[in-house]
Amino acid sequence: MKMIELPRLDLQTLHAAYRDGAFTPRILIDALRDRAMALNDYYRAFIHILDPSELEPVLHRLERGTMDDFPLYGVPFAIKDNIDLAGVPTTAACPAFAYTSDRSATVVERLLMLGAVPVAKTNLDQFATGLSGTRSPYGICRNAVSDRHPSGGSSSGSAVSVALGLASFALGTDTAGSGRIPAAYNNLVGLKASCGLISTRGVVPACRSLDCTTLLTASAGEASHLLALLAQYDPLDDYSRRNPQWNGAAGFGTVSAGFRFGVPEGAEFAGCVESPALFAQAVSRLEAMGGIAVSVDLSAFLEAARLLYEGPWVAERHLVVEALLAREPQAILPVIRDVLAKAPDYAATDVFSAFYRLRKLKRRCDAILDNLSFLLTPTMPRPVTLAELEAQPVAANSLLGTYTNFVNLLDYAAVAVPSAFMTDGLPWGVTLVGRCFTDQYLLSVADAFQRKSALRLACDRGLPGAPPSRPVTGDRIRIVVCGAHLDGLALNWQLRARGASLIEATTTAPCYRLHVLAGGEPLRPGLEKCAEGGAAIAVEVWEMPQVELGSFLAQIPEPLGLGRIELADGRRETGFICEGLALAAAKDITASGGWRGWLQAQDV
């Protein structure tokens, strides 16, 4: 299939493209499938990408109906590979554990009925045990933004699939933060709904009594819309709960001033020099929305958090893999075996003792929340790097869970929401934690927070409730792009996320040659100015706030850099240039006229 320029994947834009006849679900899904296959060697986001025969029944059903028959008509979504999709293996990132169910999980059945289309099963930390995205025999799932940092886990592939624009949303799971940490690392909203609100039938358990099915989206508005469709009582799920009327779709809306939100006393940032100021900015943003910050003692919450891995709940995780551990222990990654090793040491009396302690802690925590609309925390104290995870896999992973591990134990709802970018371009976020069944209220606050922040959404998909673009004021700089940063292509989100806007599509002066640099995905261009034999190369001119240039430049790997590009009308603008030594091993594609022309000629 020839490379096509894809529409934005938010529901509103996508359905408009369908109604206008610009796309059909079949064309879109085929293009997304091809793109996912091209990117997966690098990002390792997917364990199984659905093939045409697996997609055919879903697409055929849509083609027999109309858009009015399906609220999520043709909306592509990804599924964490510990959630069943009928006829497709479920691995939980352990090939020896894999099985194929003849029935999809309840949440997947519901999405298929609504007209959504599954694109792939996504990579995860094995048996959903971990917050890093590095604990998988299918490879480390790469962060969508940074080569130095993990993607976060365990719903790593689900987050990356949305951040890369390969799915409108993704299903994850969350027991200790597995849907919130990857959201923070990839500039997404991670909704960990109240326990039992979205069915977990057909989900491989981590801790069955605590597990939640989660949503990873680019905006709180879309998460709200999806939650309203999916929060249905499931009689086949022993842990399913009925959603109160106030927590339905009507519960999402305007946030009245005067809300009180908790701010941890002496918040822990693990030595990060940027996070304290970014958290203070988030507090100020909520205050500007009419909120009243209230200092709270978080010690009871943090003690509850420690129970999850230092208490007998580890034995509940052990239940899932007990038989496999006895039969084939080498099939389970060593770091996971180490986590589970102490499970057999817990006695029944230890379990009850932990239950009693948790009940006392919950009384204290509930009393604090009774006087608040919600609790605000950093999603993580600070981002850890891949190098830290390699050196100290357990300690670094535990640090990530500081503000997430207590939520399910205390039966609360939580929404992780993007808040800022760090100086190296890595996203940074906060989490809103509220009492059970306050999900739509928390999403309302998160939506208003996103609007107030003026941060662009991941991949700039213009989702319902999307914040406005950054205003075109102050010092701005123009950037000329010629490859994967072009509008609609794989890396364009790096511009959009920084408030950049497209100024014009034009060409260079006729004195350039264009090359495809050696190496794997993502493919990178090399633009060379030459004395003879050159041509006019198709480019785009973008404009971004000058303060964002540093973080953008930090994401440009060698041998690329920024320099001056001469355009067709004689202007000289800042743009991508390439070190000459790298061109010896590159492929000359000047005759194509530009990156898009070359992609089309390659039939990709």
- Give the contacts of 79 (CB within 8 A, at least 6 positions apart): 85, 108, 118, 120, 121, 122, 158, 170, 171
Tokens read off for 108: 């997947």
Do 456 and 496 meet the contact criterion of CB atoms below 8 Å apart?
Answer: yes
Q: Active-site residue among 136, 146, 156, 178?
A: 178
Phi-psi region of 351 (alpha: psi -120 to 50; beta: other; left: phi over 0): alpha
CA 580 to chain centre: 36
Do 136 and 373 meet the contact criterion of CB atoms below 8 Å apart?
Answer: no
Q: Is 178 a catalytic residue?
A: yes
Tokens read off for 428: 């940074």
Strand order in the sheet with 212-217: 46-49, 117-122, 76-80, 169-174, 212-217, 189-192, 412-421, 427-435, 374-378, 260-264, 292-296
Q: From residue 176, give the alpha-carbon distance in Å to each of 14, 182, 397, 398.
A: 33, 12, 11, 10
Phi-psi region of 196 (alpha: psi -120 to 50; beta: other; left: phi over 0): left
Do 199 and 105 meet the contact criterion of CB atoms below 8 Å apart?
Answer: yes
Q: Is 80 a catalytic residue?
A: yes
Our CA dihedral for 170, 175, 180, 182, rounded to 10 degrees, sits at -70
Closest CA to 75 of 12, 126, 125, 21: 12
Exposure class string for 290-319: b at 16+ Cβ within 10 A, else e: ebeeeebebebbbbbbebbbebbbbbbbbe
Q: Which residues is 11 bridged to in the sheet?
A: none
Q: From residue 453, give the alpha-carbon distance in Å to each of 186, 289, 419, 457.
A: 17, 11, 7, 11
Task: For residue 326, give the amino acid letter.
Answer: A
CB-side exposure of 205: number of CA atoms within 13 Å?
18
Tokens read off for 206: 């981590």
Q: Active-site residue among 132, 146, 151, 154?
A: 154
Q: Is 154 a catalytic residue?
A: yes
Q: Which residues is 527 bridged to in the sheet?
A: 514
Task: For residue 102, give the amino acid letter.
Answer: D
Q: Where in the sequence numbering do the catalytic residues fall?
A: 80, 154, 178
